Amino acid sequence: MHKVKRKLTTIFCADVVGYSRLMGADEHGTLVRLKQCRELMQAFIERHHGRVVSWSGDAVLADFSSVVESVQCAVEIQRELKAQNESISDSERMDFRIGINLGDVMIDDHDIFGEGVNIAARLQSLATPGGILISGSVHDQVKNKVALGFNFMGNQQVKNISEQVPVFVVTHDVVAAMPIAGSVALGGLGRTEKVSALKAPALLPLRFGATVVDVLLACVLTFALAVFLDPSMGPAFEIDAPYSFFATQRTLSTDLPSTDIEGGGEVVRTTTRSVIERNYFGLIRQNYRRTDVELTGDRLAISGARQLKGSSVEVLLDARGKQSVSRPSLLLATILVYFLIAILTEGFFMRGASPGKALLGLRVSTVRGEAAGLQEAALRNLAKIASVATALIGVLMALWSKRGQMLHDHLAGCYVHDVK
């Protein structure tokens, strides 16, 4: 007696919307397009470690050992198909509906059978063109693992299935079509939040605001580090602009000016040296030796320049205010701290959100629908240099990019969306 093998697997069903109509309008063109779509879907399924069980006319049946991989695969397929459909006429468009279910199936050779397959097929038939429906069993497995939206359709009675099936719509096109009532499961945070559908122009002020918050946080942390280190090692950083704008300043001592006559008496150079102190709210003081040079003389007047020219050079002094020392710039340290905050929070601690983004309800996700990881966060934030270096053209790309991506988002394969 043949023993039936069984396994728990994720069943993926897809078919073409209006296939008979397409065949009636253009039989040859439809077959060519179907073949192209099959090749595309086969590639995505294999990339996500799935297996095509069978092709039947315009339909495909596949199974995945990973529930998360199956949903990610479906999202990538629908996004790619949508992008390709935008370049062809409506009469030639080929839209697919996808249904996914997690269930126990029977295995016969390479084929699979059972109620789990039937449920996936029914979900696929209920889906809208370009849509993805998943069962409650799939949703339970992926809701805290992928950065996608899910709309609950309620418990649906599907054909030939005795019990009702909880059904969820995967709202995978966040930028263009994410409904306000949709919810997104954020990987690594263990909670579900609401997602709205702000377009790229509306997101720009929020993104700039989040950057300002992160920069201010980096400024506070770096200045606090300088204050903390000062008692034990003296000046740890050279506090430069813009921090120096907030300091009160006084002159501790001034040497007598020295005068040098140059060019046969045509130029007079006057040099004044002094020691100044800058006080930052009483938290930290730094001394500098300032050298001021003034040039006067007839040669400057003849050349058409001002009769008085001046230059000033400052050198940081040690804690005793006697010897000159070289210390890293506090501004440069702030920039490094900013990048560390953005990379570590987006890629590890807060999985997709820096402190500024979390405060303003923004999140970074990959174009695959996952929360940004450490590698994506590092590439995305370091690539901001390229966005700024292109005279901000890389930043303004968000206005015409499909997902509101700036240059650094595009290079890292990420996009920013709002989470309410």
For residue 110, being part of any structural domain is answered with yes
Q: pLDDT band for position 3 (50/70/90)? A: low
Which carries the bigger pLDDT value, residue 2 or residue 221? 221
Say what the pLDDT of residue 419 is. Answer: 67
For residue 236, being part of any structural domain is answered with no
Q: Do 111 and 207 fall into the same domain?
A: no
How far is 189 from 37, CA to CA, in rounded Å? 36
For residue 226, being part of any structural domain is answered with no
Q: Do 300 and 405 fall into the same domain?
A: no
- From 178, 194, 210, give the residue that closes a domain: 194
How far is 125 from 99, CA to CA, in rounded Å? 8
264-271 long-range contacts, CB within 8 A, separation 24+: 265/297, 266/297, 266/298, 266/299, 267/295, 267/296, 267/297, 267/299, 267/300, 268/295, 268/296, 268/297, 269/293, 269/294, 269/295, 270/294, 270/295, 270/296
For residue 228, being part of any structural domain is answered with no
For residue 315, being part of any structural domain is answered with yes
Q: pLDDT band for position 233 (50/70/90)? A: confident
Say what the pLDDT of residue 298 is. Answer: 63
Q: Do 267 and 378 fall into the same domain?
A: no
Predicted structure pTM score:
0.56
Dihedral sign of CA atoms 342, 345, 347, 350 in order: negative
Which carries the bigger pLDDT value, residue 214 or residue 87? 214
For residue 74, being part of any structural domain is answered with yes
Mapped onto helix, strand or coil, the DSSP state of residue 92 is helix
Give me the mean pLDDT over the 97-118 stretch: 88
Say what the pLDDT of residue 335 is. Answer: 96
Task: Give the Å distances, CA to CA, from 178 to 89, 357, 403.
Answer: 25, 19, 12
Q: pLDDT band for position 174 (50/70/90)? A: very low
Q: Do 338 and 301 fall into the same domain?
A: no
Mapped onto helix, strand or coil, the DSSP state of residue 343 is helix
| Amino acid in the structure at residue 276 | I
Place of tokens 């980096």: 218
Give me the mean pLDDT over the 200-204 stretch: 75
Q: pLDDT band for position 109 (50/70/90)? A: confident
> Nearest to residue 285, comparing CAs of 251, 249, 314?
249
- From 261, 294, 326, give the residue that closes a domain: 326
Q: Do 153 and 208 fall into the same domain?
A: no
Has residue 215 got a pLDDT over 90?
yes
> Nearest to residue 335, comparing CAs of 218, 210, 245, 212?
218
For residue 238, being part of any structural domain is answered with no
Q: pLDDT band for position 91 (50/70/90)? A: confident
220: Cβ contacts below 8 Å, ≥ 6 apart: none
How far is 96 from 81, CA to CA, in rounded Å? 8
> Nearest to residue 347, comparing CAs of 339, 11, 281, 332?
339
What CATH code is carried by the domain that includes residue 19? 3.30.70.1230
Say what the pLDDT of residue 102 is. Answer: 93
Say what the pLDDT of residue 181 is. Answer: 31
Say what the pLDDT of residue 320 is. Answer: 82
Q: Do 414 and 342 fall into the same domain?
A: yes
Q: Do 347 and 303 fall into the same domain?
A: no
Q: Do 136 and 45 fall into the same domain?
A: yes
Say what the pLDDT of residue 368 is. Answer: 64
286: Cβ contacts below 8 Å, ≥ 6 apart: 235, 238, 239, 277, 278, 280, 316, 317
pLDDT tens track for 276-320: 999 999 999 999 999 999 887 765 555 554 445 678 899 999 988
pLDDT tens track for 149-172: 888 888 887 776 777 888 999 987
Q: Do 402 and 357 fall into the same domain?
A: yes
How far is 403 from 406, CA to CA, in rounded Å? 9
Q: pLDDT band for position 9 (50/70/90)? A: very high
Helix axes 330-344, 200-233, angle to 10 degrees: 120
Residue 114 lies in domain: 5-194
For residue 230, being part of any structural domain is answered with no
Say what the pLDDT of residue 89 is. Answer: 76
Q: Do 259 and 305 fall into the same domain?
A: yes
Q: Do 84 and 10 fall into the same domain?
A: yes
Q: Do 339 and 315 fall into the same domain?
A: no
What is the total count of domains within the chain? 3
Count Cβ atoms within 10 A of the Cβ of residue 77 and give its class: 0-12 exposed, 13-18 middle, 19 or more buried.
Answer: buried
